[in-house]
Amino acid sequence: MVTWMRKAALFWVAAALLVCLAGCGGGKKEAGGEPAPAKSSERQETGEEPLAEVFAKGKKIEGMSYEYILTMPAGKMTGKVWMQGEKMRTEGTLSGQRVITLVDGETNTVYTYYPDQNRAVKLSAGEQGEETQSPTDYVENTDPAAAKVLETTVYDGVKCRVVLIQSPDGSEVKMWVREDYGIPIRVETTAPDGTKVVMEYKNLKVGPQPPETFKLPAGVQVTDLNEMMKGLPRVPGAQ
Whether pLDDT at 25 is above 60 = no
Question: Residues 190, 196: contact at Cβ < 8 Å?
Answer: yes
Q: How far apart are CA 210 and CA 229, in angstroms?
A: 33
| Predicted pLDDT at 111 | 96
Instruction: Please report the beta strands in the chain, taking only residues with DSSP state E, as ranges in sequence order.
Output: 63-72, 75-84, 87-94, 97-104, 109-114, 119-124, 148-155, 158-166, 172-178, 184-190, 196-206, 221-224
| Predicted pLDDT at 237 | 58
Confidence band for 26, pLDDT divided at 50, 70 and 90: very low
Whether pLDDT at 154 is above 50 = yes
pTM tops 0.75: no
Q: How far apart are CA 7 and CA 151, in angstroms?
A: 29
Question: Residues 187, 164: contact at Cβ < 8 Å?
Answer: no
Give, as one character, the DSSP assignment of residue 194. S
pLDDT digits (tens, 9 = 90+) for 29-73: 333 444 343 344 555 566 789 999 999 999 999 999 999 999 999
Mean of pLDDT over the chain = 80
Whether pLDDT at 3 is above 70 = no
187 closest CA partner among 163, 206, 166: 163
* Angle, CA of 207, 7 and 179, to the nearest 5°: 35
Residue type present at position 182: G
Find the mean pLDDT for residues 69-83.
93
Confidence band for 234, pLDDT divided at 50, 70 and 90: low
Whether pLDDT at 147 is above 90 = yes
Whether pLDDT at 209 is above 90 = yes
Find the mean pLDDT for residues 176-186.
97
Whether pLDDT at 228 is above 70 = yes
Whether pLDDT at 167 is above 60 = yes
pLDDT digits (tens, 9 = 90+) for 183-199: 999 999 999 999 999 99
Question: Residues 117, 100: contact at Cβ < 8 Å?
Answer: no
184 closest CA partner among 146, 145, 133: 133
Question: Residues 61, 48: contact at Cβ < 8 Å?
Answer: no
Of the candidate ranges 20-24, 42-46, 216-220, 234-238, the one whose mean pLDDT is the lowest: 20-24
For the chain, the farthest-separated pair of C-alpha atoms sits apart, in whole angstroms, at: 79
Q: What is the DSSP string of 152-184?
A: EEEETTEEEEEEEEE-TTS-EEEEEEETTT-SE
Question: Residues 95, 73: contact at Cβ < 8 Å?
Answer: no
- Higher pLDDT, residue 207 or 94: 207
Q: How far apart are CA 104 and CA 40, in angstroms?
A: 39
Whether pLDDT at 179 is above 70 = yes
